[in-house]
Structure 1
Amino acid sequence: MPKRTYAMRYVAGQPVERVFPGALNQPLPLGAALPSSSVLRVMVWNIFKQQRADWLSVLKNYGKDAQLVLLQEAQTTPELVNFATSNYLAADQVPAFVLPQHPSGVMTLAAAHPVYCCPLREREPLLRLSKSALITVYPLYSDQLLMVVNIHAVNFSLGVDVYSKQLGPIGEQIASHKGPVIMAGDFNAWSRKRINALYQFAGDMCLHEVNFPHDHRSKAFGRPLDFIFYRNLGVAQASVLVTKASDHNPLLVEFHPEADKPVW
């Protein structure tokens, strides 16, 4: 019998909690809606398991002002957990695989508690390691619900069958969600077939791609690996931070939560 996929929730002053897919029943604390200002700031970054120097300073300098931080390859080291619980109301991580000391996988840090959580995992067909995705839903001050998809897509596979298979259950949930959506992460879209499958998926879900005026996204075979897609939001500005703190450069975007068209 396969193991159930779960997320680990980190909240300051509380024991670490294992969260299984589904709606969360606990009452929301006051001030739990996003954003806390006129724009919704989002940071997306494959943090490379914190293997390089200065990863924490990059997070402190650029992540602390974001209401949502979507990390991939995040290891739950004491330093990362301390940063998450000191600056955010909730941090949810899907352990894709367990390293000798700390689990690694996608982690979403948020300035609000999610009202819904759905962790997902997909096994790499060649390496037999898992990649993870996390779907969380947060209340907005506009009384809408924001769906956030944080994904680290399978990397080593022949063809795009497994790649598309990982997107399938995500698509089912996006299609049934009536409010705004952000889908972002490391999509490993390094081939023509993969990027075509990703764009087909985004089109089917009515998602728009965030464009970067100065595109310094990390690439493989000439194609960017990291993307941000959105629906029923407006883009105020978007940039890519060039850094040596990971093998990926962080993406920084500011959304207008109540707009339905990009501003630029």
Structure 2
Amino acid sequence: MPKRTYAMRYVAGRPVEQIFPGSARPLGRELPLGEPLRTSKFLRVMVWNIFKQQRTNWLSILKKFGKDSQLILLQEARTTPEMVRFATSNYLAADQVPAFKFPHHPSGVMTLAAAHPVYCYPLREREPLLRLSKSALITVYPIHDKRLLMVVNIHAVNFSLGVDVYSKQLGPIGEQIALHPGPLILAGDFNAWSRQRVNALRLFAHKMELQEVEFLIDNRSRVFGRPLDFVFFRDLYVAEALVLATRASDHNPLRVDFLL
């Protein structure tokens, strides 16, 4: 029997909460409006595959580059005591989808937010060759104009023949996006290292009516000359998009300021 997919929610001063698909209120206009994401003029989003925190300076870089970000979307984030302490002391909620344990603490996508989500939907897809899982997480947050912002944090499958499994992982995400009429951010490590994967990803973005963030100085981490990390969006405006150089991971972080 396959393992059930779930998310773990970390909030300061509260027990860790386990959230299963379908346990949250169904996605739609009836979602409750909580406290909105705290923003001034911009909504700052950081996206980073943190390489399981295997390099010594990951925390200092996260503090430096994540400063003033209302959302941090991490891939390969391990729930070590240091990570949980950073998340709960700087953000109102941190949601992680455990993909696998490495070696003692679960690793997977993690979304840190300056507001509590009103919707949470975890997803996992098994790598067909390595038999390890990759995860994705869909969360929804209220913003200042009373709209709801959907945030999709994804770590795409890496080792597969063809693009069938790659496209399969995007399918349930597309179903969720289709139910959401408002602004949206889709970002993460898409492992788009082949022409077929890039084509499948851009076809998916086109079908979902998403725009791709472009980086003027594009220092994104690459394999076979193709970038792995992307940010897509809808019903938002890009004010600034940067790739931040660091050796604290095998990926460079992305930072995007959206004008709401």
* Alignment TM class, shorter chain as reference: over 0.9
C-alpha separation between the residues in 2 aligned to 1:93 and 1:241?
Answer: 23
1:70 equivalent in alignment to 2:83: no
> 1:262 — aligned with what?
none
CA RMSD of aligned residues (A): 1.4
Counterpart pick for 2:253 among 246, 250, 253: 250
C-alpha separation between the residues in 2 aligned to 1:164 and 1:111?
Answer: 31
Residue 100 of structure 1 and its aligned partner are, at CA, apart by 2.4
> 2:45 — aligned with what?
42
State the one-letter code of the partner of 1:93. Answer: Q
Structure 1: state its 5+ residue gaps: 258-264
1:138 equivalent in alignment to 2:141: yes
1:151 equivalent in alignment to 2:154: yes
Residue 3 of structure 1 and its aligned partner are, at CA, apart by 2.4
> 1:203 — aligned with what?
206
The SS at the match of 1:95 is strand
Matches within 5 A, 1:47-58: 47-58=50-61
1:222 equivalent in alignment to 2:199: no
> 2:64 — aligned with what?
61
> 2:2 — aligned with what?
2
Structure 2: state its 5+ residue gaps: none
> 2:18 — aligned with what?
18
Tell me if the contact between 2:9 and 2:96 (Cα under 8 Å) persists in the aligned partners: yes
C-alpha separation between the residues in 1 aligned to 2:167 and 2:38?
Answer: 32
Matches within 5 A, 1:125-204: 125-204=128-207
1:80 equivalent in alignment to 2:89: no
Residue 28 of structure 1 and its aligned partner are, at CA, apart by 6.8
Residue 142 of structure 1 and its aligned partner are, at CA, apart by 0.7
C-alpha separation between the residues in 2 aligned to 1:255 and 1:39?
Answer: 5
Tell me if the contact between 1:214 and 1:240 (Cα under 8 Å) persists in the aligned partners: yes
> 2:116 — aligned with what?
113
C-alpha separation between the residues in 2 aligned to 1:158 and 1:28?
Answer: 43
State the one-letter code of the partner of 1:166. Answer: Q
C-alpha separation between the residues in 2 aligned to 1:27 and 1:34?
Answer: 14
Percent of aligned pairs with the same amino acid: 76
C-alpha separation between the residues in 1 aligned to 2:256 and 2:38?
Answer: 13
C-alpha separation between the residues in 1 aligned to 2:189 and 2:153?
Answer: 9
Please give the per-residue CA displacement for 1:187-222, whole angstroms capped at 9, x wherever unaligned. 000000000000000000000000001000000000
The SS at the match of 2:230 is strand
Tell me if the contact between 1:49 and 1:104 (Cα under 8 Å) persists in the aligned partners: yes
C-alpha separation between the residues in 1 aligned to 2:185 and 2:43?
Answer: 11
State the one-letter code of the partner of 2:44. Answer: R
Residue 36 of structure 1 and its aligned partner are, at CA, apart by 2.3
> 1:260 — aligned with what?
none
C-alpha separation between the residues in 1 aligned to 2:4 and 2:118?
Answer: 20
State the one-letter code of the partner of 1:214. Answer: I
State the one-letter code of the partner of 2:136. Answer: A
The SS at the match of 2:178 is helix
> 1:91 — aligned with what?
94
C-alpha separation between the residues in 1 aligned to 2:133 and 2:21?
Answer: 18
**TM-score calculated relative to the size of structure 1:** 0.94
> 1:233 — aligned with what?
236
C-alpha separation between the residues in 2 aligned to 1:7 and 1:86?
Answer: 20
C-alpha separation between the residues in 1 aligned to 2:182 and 2:95?
Answer: 21
Tell me if the contact between 1:28 and 1:113 (Cα under 8 Å) persists in the aligned partners: no
Please give the per-residue CA displacement for 1:120-160, whole angstroms capped at 9, x wherever unaligned. 00000000000000000001111111000000000000000
Tell me if the contact between 1:64 and 1:87 (Cα under 8 Å) persists in the aligned partners: no
